């Protein structure tokens, strides 16, 4: 029986990027007689602000970012709801799933407080004792589930069926590709910032991934990112 590996790490790594702030504005200007004008930073920023304010989102669809995400399956269950992205995920039918499972970090808020409202979910940080119990229960169920998985594989059962015993805490890897407009829409919904004009309450774990995605996005499209933040983090 293999040992299981427990981790809190959720990673988003850049694979490939195409495009720039200037490219977005060049696409916007294509429909005008200014397509070939010189663009300086204030000229780009002003036009980016206009695109966001007027919800003129088309020019932001030029460009692309591919990231490789390593996360528990529950993160992908939510990420895959973003239908305008493209995905390639490692298979649970063609190879054995590795025994890597998610354990929450100590400071992850997780205990429902008195007066909890599921429409605006906010959790308290666990006490030391509560945290230990949570981790023990998670670990025990991961060990049992993975032992059943291996037992089924040992009996020659189809991997696509054997995996049914595993929960959404097991890790997977997925490459995800989107354009700047898709990404800003994703970040609006899957990050949590006080300055957001349309606040969302994303799951802690997808937020951890979204924060890393935002940092990659801001490196490649710094002016677009800044204009979006100034616009209250609302995507067009």
Ligand X SMILES: Cc1cc2nc3c(=O)[nH]c(=O)nc-3n(C[C@H](O)[C@H](O)[C@H](O)COP(=O)(O)OP(=O)(O)OC[C@H]3O[C@@H](n4cnc5c(N)ncnc54)[C@H](O)[C@@H]3O)c2cc1C
Q: Which residues are catalytic?
A: 190
**Residue 28 engages ligand X in binding (rule: CB under 6 A):** no
Query: DSSP letters along 107-158, please?
Result: T---BPPTT--TTS---BPPPHHHHHHHHHHHHHHHHHHHHHHHHHHHTT--
Rounded to whole angstroms, the Cα distance separating 61 from 83 reads: 15
CB 99 within 8 A of CB 123: no
CB of 35 to ligand X, least distance (A): 28
Farthest-apart Cα atoms in the chain, separation:
69
The nearer residue to ligand X, 103 or 189, going by C-beta atoms, is 189
DSSP-derived secondary structure for 84-106? TSEEEE--SSSSPPP-EEE---T
Minimum CB separation of residue 218 from ligand X in Å reads 20
User: Is residue 28 within 8 Å of residue 59, measured between CB atoms?
Assistant: yes
Give the C-alpha distances (Å, rounded to integers) separating 41 from 22, 44, 49, 229.
Answer: 9, 5, 12, 17
The answer to whether 117 contacts ligand X (rule: CB under 6 A) is: no
Identify the residue among 202, 204, 232, 234 touching ligand X (CB under 6 A): 202
Q: Which of 200, 211, 226, 234 contacts ligand X by CB under 6 A?
A: 200
Q: Which is nearer to ligand X, 91 or 201 (CB)?
A: 201
Name the residue whose CB lies closest to ligand X: 83
Task: Write the binding mask 154 to 173 for ligand X: x where contact by CB under 6 A, - elsewhere.
Answer: --------------------
Nearer to ligand X, 172 or 182 (CB): 182
- We find the least distance from the C-beta atom of residue 181 to ligand X, in angstroms, to be 9
Q: Is 210 helix (H, G, I), strand (E, B) or coil?
A: helix
Q: Pick the closest to residue 90 from 105, 103, 100 (CA basis).
A: 100
Site for ligand X in 71-90 (CB under 6 A): 81-84
Quick one: 64 or 150, whose CB is closer to ligand X?
64
- By beta-carbon proximity to ligand X, the closer residue of 44 and 187 is 187
Sites of contact with ligand X (CB under 6 A)? 81-84, 182, 185, 189, 200-202
């Amino acid at each position: 029986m293999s040992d299981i590996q427990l981790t809190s790490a959720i990673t988003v790594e850049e694979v490939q990027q195409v495009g720039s702030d200037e490219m977005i504005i060049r696409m916007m200007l294509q429909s005008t007689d200014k397509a070939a004008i010189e663009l300086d930073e204030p000229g780009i920023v002003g036009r980016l602000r206009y695109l966001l304010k007027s919800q003129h989102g088309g020019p932001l669809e030029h460009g692309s970012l591919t990231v490789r995400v390593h996360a528990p399956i529950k993160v992908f269950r939510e990420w895959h709801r973003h239908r305008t992205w493209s995905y390639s995920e490692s298979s649970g039918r063609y190879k054995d799933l590795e025994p890597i499972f998610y354990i929450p970090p100590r400071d992850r808020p997780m205990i429902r407080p008195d007066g909890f409202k599921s429409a605006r979910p906010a959790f308290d940080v666990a006490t030391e004792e509560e945290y230990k119990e949570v981790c023990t229960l998670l670990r025990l169920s991961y060990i049992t589930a993975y032992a059943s998985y291996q037992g089924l594989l040992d009996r020659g059962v189809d991997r696509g069926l054997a995996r049914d015993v595993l929960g959404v805490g097991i890790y997977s890897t997925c490459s995800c590709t989107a354009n700047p407009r898709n990404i800003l829409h994703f970040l609006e919904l899957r990050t949590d910032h006080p300055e957001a004009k349309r606040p969302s309450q994303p799951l802690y774990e997808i937020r951890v991934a979204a924060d890393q995605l935002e940092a990659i996005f801001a490196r490649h499209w710094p002016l677009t990112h800044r204009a979006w933040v100034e616009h209250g983090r609302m995507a067009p």
